[in-house]
């Protein structure tokens, strides 16, 4: 049984990594360098399998994360092609706006494809996703839970669970936080700042945020100096994979909680 579970986890990570790598190649070939060959459409197969896998598991967040990664990949590769000091054409901004307008109802109705249901309208659902986390963070500040029992109790869940399984620390926890009532809804996301505030205090939260900002700034500067061009660039893929930390920071702190160490190893 353990072997079967391990094999399934490995297969899932292979699907994830393939969707990122083949997606990067498709964007490079089809959009950036306009090598539009019909066979390149096969590069989308891993992405379609990835979507099916995600919806079958009842989630949608991973789809948002990979779409964010694709946008970042396209931006970096386009800048490398035309020059970092050049302004990207407005057509990409218009395309992004159209994608956003189309993506909102798609995100809502994908809930039903994943086997779940809701009585909320599309606008109620989106407003809850976008604004609920800020309200929940305010609730946490007004009524916090107990202090962290171990270092990085909420911020480093994945790492601490690995250390716990190896017997180095007494720790076994889930990445999910407690639910709180907000009007007629319940939620358990608290923006980027809840976890480091809980684990390290107010000053620690500022330091944690600063370190994350420095990490992305240094990584971005290194990408700007590199000359990857048309070839596959693993560093760009990894940076794009990480970027949802920033994009979704108003919703949740994803840095060391839901990051897949296995996915990074495979990449």
* pTM beyond 0.85, yes or no: no
Flag whether pLDDT at 239 surpasses 80. yes
The whole-number pLDDT of residue 261 equals: 56
Domain that holds residue 100: 2-266
More confident residue, 139 or 94: 139
| 243, 68 contact by CB (below 8 A) | yes
Q: Retrieve residue 96's tokens.
A: 């992004």
The whole-number pLDDT of residue 44 equals: 93
CB atoms near residue 109 (< 10 Å): 10
Flag the least confident range among 77-81, 86-90, 114-118, 161-165.
Answer: 114-118
When divided into structural domains, the chain yields a total of 1
Confidence band of 11 (pLDDT split at 50, 70, 90)? confident
């Amino acid at each position: 049984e353990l072997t079967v579970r391990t094999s399934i986890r490995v297969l899932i990570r292979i699907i994830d990594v393939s969707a990122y790598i083949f997606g990067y190649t498709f964007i490079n070939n089809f959009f950036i360098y306009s090598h539009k060959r019909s066979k390149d459409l096969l590069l989308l197969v891993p992405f379609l399998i990835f979507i099916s896998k995600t919806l079958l598991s009842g989630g949608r967040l991973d789809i948002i994360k990979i779409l964010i990664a694709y946008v970042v990949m396209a931006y970096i590769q386009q800048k490398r092609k035309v020059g970092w000091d050049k302004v990207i054409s407005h057509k990409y901004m218009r395309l992004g706006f159209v994608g956003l307008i189309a993506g909102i109802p798609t995100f809502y109705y994908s809930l039903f494809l994943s086997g779940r249901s809701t009585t909320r309208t599309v606008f109620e659902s989106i407003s809850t996703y976008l604004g609920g986390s800020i309200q929940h963070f305010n609730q946490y500040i007004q009524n916090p839970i107990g202090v962290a029992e171990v270092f990085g109790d909420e911020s480093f869940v994945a790492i601490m669970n690995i250390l716990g399984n190896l017997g180095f620390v007494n720790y076994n926890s889930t990445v999910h936080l407690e639910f709180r009532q907000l009007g007629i809804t319940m939620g358990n996301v608290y923006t980027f700042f809840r976890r480091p505030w809980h684990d390290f205090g107010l000053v620690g939260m500022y330091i944690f945020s600063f370190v994350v900002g420095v990490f992305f700034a240094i990584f971005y500067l290194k990408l700007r100096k590199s000359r990857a061009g048309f070839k596959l660039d693993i560093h760009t893929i990894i940076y794009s994979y990480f970027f949802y930390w920033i994009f979704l920071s108003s919703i949740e702190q994803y840095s060391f909680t839901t990051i897949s160490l296995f996915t990074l190893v495979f990449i």
